[in-house]
Amino acid sequence: MYIDFKELIEQPDAVDICIIGAGAAGISMAVTLAERGHRVLLCEGGDADYSERSQDCYRGETVGDPYIPLDGARLRHLGGSTNHWGGVCRPLDRYDFTAKAAASETAWPIGHDALSPYYHAAASVLDLVPTPVDQSVAGSGFKRIYFSLDNPARLKDKYAETLRKSTTLECCLTANLVALETQDGKVSSATFKNYQGDYRQVRARYFVLACGGIENSRLLQWCNQQTNHRLIPQAAALGRYWMEHPHATVGKALLFKPALLGLNDEYNVFLSPTAHSIDSRQILNCGLRLHRMNVEATQALIDELAAQAPMLAGRLRIWQTQGQVIHGVVLRAAWEQEPHFDNRIELSEELDALGIPRSRLVWQQSDLDRHTIRESMLLLGEYLRDNEIGRLQMADWLADTPVKLPTEGELAGRHHMGGTRMSLNAAEGIVNTDCRLFAQDNVYIAGSSVFASAGHANPTLTLVQLALRLCDHLDNRLTQAPSEAGEAPLT
């Protein structure tokens, strides 16, 4: 049920779990844990719907490569960015959890098998249709991949009745986290502030921070400063290894045998390099998206080819008169970014309306990021040419040496990952394999900020898988005897 800000309760152990942030991770966890009978308080800093006062808290600055304005990249109200997302989802590949040959930092401290049991439950939460199994494209170095593209869930709407009627789940809006108190390796309380300047303190057995791929880092840095670094004593990695999925239109292609790539029957086909190609080409993962052109655009591409390769163009015209189908395609891409220590979220000197320093994003694509998209396109071009399947035309910026990335256009997927990296030790990350802060026995982080690397797949499905895995962990702790629940070692 919904409660007003003034009703936030302060007595000890009033709730089992206080979840801070009501986006994909926060809502999925709150509903799941409440259904299991646990007392859950879900605190959302935004309003029920979009408001300028809430969205302004996302405003910040960027340093480095051109990027989307931070307050335009995600939504800050109930339901978070699930209020406008497109539902494009697939799991990370198995090899995305391993150390890639070109970047050992891509390794996760957990494997694919740790998340795969949660695939169907996460797909159900998000109303995703399970995707077909990926298919190898013989001799290409690529596999054909699939995304769920159907109508996705707007979690605020899907769980509206649960949020309104549940007797074990309380939801409070305009409750903005401003402080965490810690004592003896546990957070004893969280302090919230509304837009009128009122404060409330909440006590809970466990706290989960689920505020997004920038806010988790920002709020932890601020709270850590206030506790004189007792919250996260080893904070070298806090805010670091921040990642995005660079996006761009990367070229065009003429396909003489489009059926080999599935483009006779479908208008959009998705490809990604195999694990062998990733290792042999010394690249990261990449998703290529082939979008069929209409007849007029395809003919214009044939005419363009005729000026450069008249003999080949002549063969194309003969094939066309014989009824052979030729398709032009536009190629777009989203590729994996190297987890790099210098890409980070830090606190700026400017304060938001709540008195918290705004975010400063320091973000720059590396030589490996550039190498990944160029080599992926070269690999596809070689396959098309060597097998007389087609010809590829790379975008001008990809043909430059060194590659000069676009400074305008789509730029990135608005996929904020990293900053509270999962790791085996506190020197290299912020949370352990259970998504718990290393130095606090009862504080957990949910969402894509815990990603150790990013693959190329949109992150929402993976972060919900992680959230449901965390639900099982908390459920196990909460159902232990109280004395046992407090004995978990800090590692």
d(CA 107, CA 479): 32
- Strand-strand pairing, 15-20 and 204-209: parallel
pLDDT of residue 488: 46
The contacts of residue 128 (CB under 8 Å, 6+ apart) are 87, 89, 122, 148, 150, 152, 461
Q: CA dist 47 to 4, 25, 175, Å?
A: 12, 17, 9
The contacts of residue 200 (CB under 8 Å, 6+ apart) are 5, 6, 8, 10, 175, 191, 192
d(CA 481, CA 459): 35
d(CA 148, CA 131): 6
The contacts of residue 83 (CB under 8 Å, 6+ apart) are 50, 75, 77, 154, 156
pLDDT, mean over the chain? 93
d(CA 214, CA 69): 13
How many helices, marked H, and strands, marked E, lie in the chain?
Answer: 14, 19
pLDDT of residue 311: 80
pLDDT of residue 484: 46
Q: CA dist 35 to 24, 165, 435, Å?
A: 17, 12, 21
Contact predicate 137/387, CB 8 Å: no
Q: What is the edge-to-edge ordering of all strands in the sheet holding 344-351?
A: 61-64, 357-363, 344-351
Q: CA dist 164 to 76, 156, 205, Å?
A: 20, 11, 23
The contacts of residue 264 (CB under 8 Å, 6+ apart) are 258, 325, 327
The pLDDT tens digits of the residues spanning 440-462 come to: 999 999 999 999 999 999 999 99
The pLDDT tens digits of the residues spanning 162-214 come to: 999 999 999 999 999 999 999 999 999 999 999 999 999 999 999 999 999 99
The full DSSP string for 202-221 is: E-EEEEEE---TTHHHHHHH
pLDDT of residue 263: 83
Instruction: Identify which of 270, 249, 286 has the alpha carbon closest to the alpha carbon of residue 396.
Output: 249
CA 460 to chain centre: 6
CATH 2.40.50.140 at 2-130+152-243+418-479, yes or no:
no
Q: What is the pLDDT along the chain (491 residues), one digit of tens a residue?
A: 999 999 887 655 679 999 999 999 999 999 999 999 999 999 999 999 999 999 999 999 999 999 999 999 999 999 999 999 888 999 999 999 999 999 999 999 999 999 999 999 999 999 998 888 999 999 999 999 999 987 889 999 999 999 999 999 999 999 999 999 999 999 999 999 999 999 999 999 999 999 999 999 999 999 999 999 999 999 999 999 999 999 999 999 999 988 888 887 778 999 999 999 999 999 999 999 999 999 899 889 988 888 888 888 788 878 777 777 888 999 999 999 999 999 999 999 999 999 999 999 999 999 999 999 999 999 999 999 999 999 999 999 998 888 888 888 889 999 999 999 999 999 999 999 999 999 999 999 999 999 999 999 999 999 999 999 999 999 999 998 554 444 444 44
The dihedral built from the CA positions of residue 161, 162, 165 and 171, taken in this order, carries a sign that is negative
pLDDT of residue 456: 98
pLDDT of residue 234: 97
pLDDT of residue 409: 86
The contacts of residue 410 (CB under 8 Å, 6+ apart) are 247, 248, 249
Which helix (DSSP H) or strand (DSSP E) does residue 182 occupy?
A: strand 176-183
d(CA 67, CA 335): 16
Residue 31 structure tokens: 């509903």
pLDDT of residue 73: 94
Structural domain boundaries in the chain: 2-130+152-243+418-479
pLDDT of residue 264: 74
CA 63 to chain centre: 21
Q: At what angle do helices 460-478 and 24-35 cross, to 10 degrees?
A: 30
The pLDDT tens digits of the residues spanning 62-86 come to: 999 999 999 999 999 999 999 998 8
pLDDT of residue 307: 82
pLDDT of residue 486: 46
Output Rg (C-alpha) for the chain, integer angstroms: 24
pLDDT of residue 485: 45
H helix intervals, 84-214: 112-115, 119-125, 155-158, 160-165
The pLDDT tens digits of the residues spanning 361-395 come to: 999 999 999 999 999 999 999 999 999 999 999 99
Instruction: Identify which of 6, 5, 20, 33 has the alpha carbon closest to the alpha carbon of residue 168.
Output: 33
